[in-house]
Amino acid sequence: MTDTKFNEFVEIVKRLRKECPWDSEQTNDSIKAATIEEAYEVVDAIDSKDYSELRKELGDLLLHVVFHTVIAEDSSHFTINEVIDSIQEKLIRRHPHVFGNIKVSGSAEVKKNWEEIKLSEGRKALLDGVPSLLPALQRAHRLQEKVAKVGFDWETKEDVWKKVIEEIEEMHRSEKEESHEELEIEIGDVFFAMVNYSRYLGVNPENALRKTNKKFIDRFGYIEEKITKTGRKLSDSTLKEMDKYWEESKKIY
């Protein structure tokens, strides 16, 4: 994309901000949920390997980046050039092995240096940069990734798996207690341990669960389609019948 093309796009957004009643009423706060939604739509397109859709969704996400900036500029907070300057400076500063004289042995060292540089930039704590509004599964993964980069990690895969088993056993024991809060904590520990094991295997748990969710939706959709084709509702079916269609769906999805 040329500078001229980008500048034309920014001017279009600025005009909409001035002349469109809806756009002129928006704030950074009012559109933040839509920004999150657009980011997830980008991920959906990536998962579907639909590059035509990905092109469109990236455009929508770019619109939000520019729109947020134009809104901020209206209140003299910052400009689009300052946004670009900021990210350019950050990329150069955090890649001394590319733009400086630092030598690295591989991506693991790059990640370690990245976290150390972030701390040197004024972060008070290593985990400060993990957004609190991330989905819990993804946030657990990011927390574990960050501490692992500075050496706080299990030594072997077997140790991680032992921790998973330990947490499952503790959850089972807590089922016998009357405290719902305690059970909730123990179930959370099981999830956290499984996220850690997934990370150790090189699997992003958020991606893995998202794929499983889609698979479940597709398979249950097959059941629903088969039953409704007979003129009945799902509630009119039996578990045995649904199980039959479920097994059939596994051959397709």
- Report the distance separating Cα 172 and Cα 164, nearest Å: 13
**Would you state the pLDDT for residue 108?**
83
Give the pLDDT score at 35. Answer: 96
Query: For residue 14, how many other CB atoms are within 10 A of its CB?
Result: 18
Taking only the tens of pLDDT, the chain with its 253 residues reads 567 999 999 999 999 999 999 999 999 999 999 999 999 999 999 999 999 999 999 999 999 999 999 999 999 999 999 999 999 999 999 999 999 999 999 988 898 888 788 878 877 788 988 998 899 999 999 999 999 988 899 999 999 999 999 999 999 999 888 789 999 999 999 999 999 999 999 999 999 999 999 999 999 999 999 999 999 999 999 999 999 999 999 999 9
Q: Are 103 and 96 in contact (CB under 8 A)?
A: no
Q: Confirm if 219 and 246 have CB atoms less than 8 A apart.
A: yes
